[in-house]
Structure 1
Amino acid sequence: MKAFTYERPATVQEAAQLAADRPDARFIAGGTNLLDLMKLQIETPATLVDVNRLPLAKVEETSEGGLRIGALVRNADLAAHPRVRKDYAVLSRALLAGASGQLRNKATTAGNLLQRTRCYYFYDTAMPCNKREPGSGCAAIGGFNRIMAVLGTSDQCIATNPSDMNVAMRALDATVETMAPDGTTRAIPMADFHRLPGDTPQTETDLRKGEIITAVTLPKPVEGVHIYRKVRDRASYAFATISIAAVIAAEGAGKVRAARLAFGGLAHKPWRVAQAEEALVRTGSADTAADAVLKGARGYGANDFKIPLTRRTLRAVVAQATRT
């Protein structure tokens, strides 16, 4: 691990200013992803800005009937929060499906939003990776790509977003709140927060230099059965091969009144297709919805199985939601 300086700001704006002023600065809270990357010298920040003492660890009701989740709320606390379990169960289930109890006790809401890919080649500094070193190439495209993306890919990168929480947040239409170094704030829809790789896979989010996440806001709850189904290689402590966060309001077997569907393990960001939700409501058919989700899907050899697996998993989710 390379030497770095350490700062502990007293205010949110001071934290943002430090990150903007220092070269290669990184915010650190739980460190469950960043510290691993530093040990492997994939991330080599010159400055760590410790945000743990900032007042960003509350879950609060909003005037619109939703929830405002502070950036420093730990994953374990969020999953166990009574309001989350009652009204946003898909989020609680997604959080509990991730990592281990020890990691959930440390990992934060903002850190989970910013979790970096688990692509094998991103973690291997001996291999080319455009995300880690722009212009070096993508070893995954012609290599072992079993866990890689089949949607939203480019010739530069086929990595996936590994977060379970992000998939549920996308299904719930969450909004990410931020503060810039000058104190101005933004509200970024979850749909726009993560970027597809395109020609710049090293740019993973819509955050600007020094901008710090302060909270995630959820709108008021919507009616429906909350399901988080995660298909993985082992029962615990494994990333999703494919996952689905669903909120489905049903009127009996095969009859769907409203649906929200977000997919993990398929793309560089949580994947949600409005046409798939509309198709499910219109026809009640999981296969018709899957056709819309998988439009343009492309396998790269070892991950070809993800395409039929998505279809089968969506069938299981819809059957569960519409079971009488």
Structure 2
Amino acid sequence: MRNLIIFLRRYFNFFLFLLLEVICLIFVFRTNNFQRTVYLNSANGVSGKLYTRYNDIQYYFHLKSTNDSLVSENLALLQQLPTSFEEKDTASQVKFDTLRKFTNDTARKLLSTEVRKFLYRSAKVVNNSVNKPVNFITINRGSKDGIRPNMGVIGPNGVVGVVRTASENYAVIISLLTKSSGSTSSFSFSSRLKNSGEIGTVYWDGYDGGHVTMKDVPRSAKLHKGDTVVTSGFSAVFPENMNIGYIDTFYVGEKASTSFTIRLKLATNFYNLQYVYVIENLLRDEQERLEDSTRKMLK
């Protein structure tokens, strides 16, 4: 207490000066419109900058929850895509008289012409390689989450790869950026030009992580730089119309060649891949069993 009294006595004049200065400023701002306007504008500017900085800091610390929310919303939208369903004409198989004993909801289900074909699961990337001949991506979902080998994987913007192996809690994806090396074959799959519909095959040539090559596109195709290339839907791994990339350049290798070779700029940024969606084809086993049995019959 004694030290406080000594401190106040020593700096009494300074504190008195500050008090009088504040009182003077209050009178000036209250009695003069111009000074009051300048003060309010300056105060609003300072407080605005402080609030902006505060919101930026708050947004940074909430990025994870924001990203998780966006991933959940994207997942819900993917589940509703028309390509996630397969049309089945079941209406003609059910007589109207039979449906009269059911409720409206039950009748609608029986008359439904859609069967879910693809199911999506979100996952976070925990490891990713880009600059190797064979590149892999590790995600934090595994067999207990329904992830199995040979499932297709896409990112927010386009195709990513195919699940190679899965443990209980993790799965490893063979990236689209994979070139044939030793026991590992290159990752290639059927694709098509979105505008004109011509079919080709996409694979990585190993040059850089931002481009892939599309081959076997007929010379009759009308190509333009920037045209979109999507999955064809001929594979049991990916639904149709999933973005792969955009035409960057194209050429004909030889004069006698009947097809274009196209260099695509990838839709997926593999250098900044944080979340992916694993695709399960619910009808895949049935399709493959039928195809296998047909091949055996023709041998």
TM-score (norm 1): 0.23
Q: Which has the higher contact order (CA 8 A, sep 6+)?
A: 1
Q: Which structure carries more helix by proportion? A: 2
TM-score (norm 2): 0.25
Q: Which structure carries more strand by proportion? A: 2
